[in-house]
A and B are shown apart, each in its own frame.
Chain A
Amino acid sequence: GAVVSQHPSWVICKSGTSVKIECRSLDFQATTMFWYRQFPKQSLMLMATSNEGSKATYEQGVEKDKFLINHASLTLSTLTVTSAHPEDSSFYICSARESSGRETQYFGPGTRLLVL
């Protein structure tokens, strides 16, 4: 199956700092990438949809100024958590959908963020 990578796999930062998470599709082109967040023992919640070359579409309740998304190429999307606070601590997962494909999304391994 298609491979999606995320970097870093985990990060610990101080409150007030910004953290950037990268999502890459390694063996396919992805016009659309998605960013999810998962709290312990809960389902994945879609944060935003990222289309290459255009602005991301954010879900209701997700602050676009806090979670900056950039999808500069067909293989890379980045999520920047700006001025992180302890409540931003979570597991962030990206997924990518092949440009030629349809619904199947392939997920990255996730990034665990801990804000102290």
Chain B
Amino acid sequence: DQQVKQNSPSLSVQEGRISILNCDYTNSMFDYFLWYKKYPAEGPTFLISISSIKDKNEDGRFTVFLNKSAKHLSLHIVPSQPGDSAVYFCAASLYNAGNMLTFGGGTRLMVKP
């Protein structure tokens, strides 16, 4: 049973436009969410996170939105740059479960110049 899902395996966006990556989860007990960026043959790089007590967190070009009632979070990248092209994973954690991360399947973002 996949508790964290990224339903779009890939996304193509024009440079300068907004990229929106979506993530859904089923376990309402998750209380912390993270986004990671990953290049092939490299480890994931932490991008941004959000606690379940918030609905928005912003860091530069990256903004994460959390809708707890819909069990949905999204990552907005504005403006998108070719260097943003990578696979993006959302992850969720549960404090009482030792903060282990449960990852979504990833979305490959391609930003075209």
Q: Spell out A's residues near B (CB within 8 Å).
A: 1, 4, 6, 32, 34, 42-44, 46, 49, 57, 91, 93, 95, 97, 102-110, 112
**A107 x B106 contact (CB < 8 A):** no
9-residue interface stretch from B11-19, B40-48, B64-72, B75-83: B40-48
* B: number of interface residues (CB 8 Å): 21
Q: Spell out B's residues near A (CB within 8 Å).
A: 32, 34, 36, 41-46, 49, 89, 93, 95, 98-101, 103-106
Number of residue pairs spanning A and B whose beta carbons lie under 8 angstroms apart: 57
* Given known contacts A103-B34, A104-B34, A44 and B44 CB-to-CB distance under 8 angstroms: yes
Collect the chain A residues with CB atoms within 8 Å of residue B104's CB.
43
When the two chains form the complex, which single residue of A6, A32, A97, A104 contacts B43, counting CB atoms closer than 8 Å?
A: A6
When the two chains form the complex, which single residue of B32, B42, B89 contacts A103, counting CB atoms closer than 8 Å?
A: B32
CB-CB nearest 9 A-B residue pairs:
A107-B43, A103-B32, A107-B44, A103-B93, A43-B105, A110-B43, A109-B43, A43-B103, A108-B43
**A43 x B106 contact (CB < 8 A):** yes
